Amino acid sequence: MFVRGIRGATQLEADTAPEMKSAVGELLGKMLEINSVEPESIVSILFTATSDIHSIFPATAARDFELAQVPLICAQELDIEGALPRAIRILIHVNTEKKQSEITHLYLRGAKVLRPDLSSQ
């Protein structure tokens, strides 16, 4: 068994709690689904948000996924000039038998520009 990282990102259309819940729910759900991840195999999840997000924590939006026993933490993304606004990034640490090359990373909505090489998957 290995611990692997699954990366993903999305962009909010607006800094509101419903939009955060929608965007994080969409991204996290698809990340778990396409990588066949069950909640009990998740080691932890790190969420980052750009400094222009103030509505709710991304981890709060993730609570709808029955992750009460999974350690979740949020951090602020570096405030780099010209960076994508209203961006949420997720790094899931998961126990799996998969090789790193078998992990599918996911970039949705406006965050596709961050990793066009992975966004076509």
CATH number at residue 82: 3.30.1330.40
> Residue 116 has what pLDDT?
79
Q: What's the structural domain count of the chain?
A: 1
> Residue 50 has what pLDDT?
97
80: three-class secondary structure by DSSP: coil
pTM equals 0.92
The answer to whether residue 107 is catalytic is yes
Which domain, by its residues, includes 78? 2-119
> Residue 20 has what pLDDT?
96
> Residue 68 has what pLDDT?
87
The answer to whether residue 33 is catalytic is no
Catalytic residue among 19, 26, 109, 115: 115
Low-confidence ranges of the chain (pLDDT < 50): none
> Residue 121 has what pLDDT?
52
> Residue 118 has what pLDDT?
73
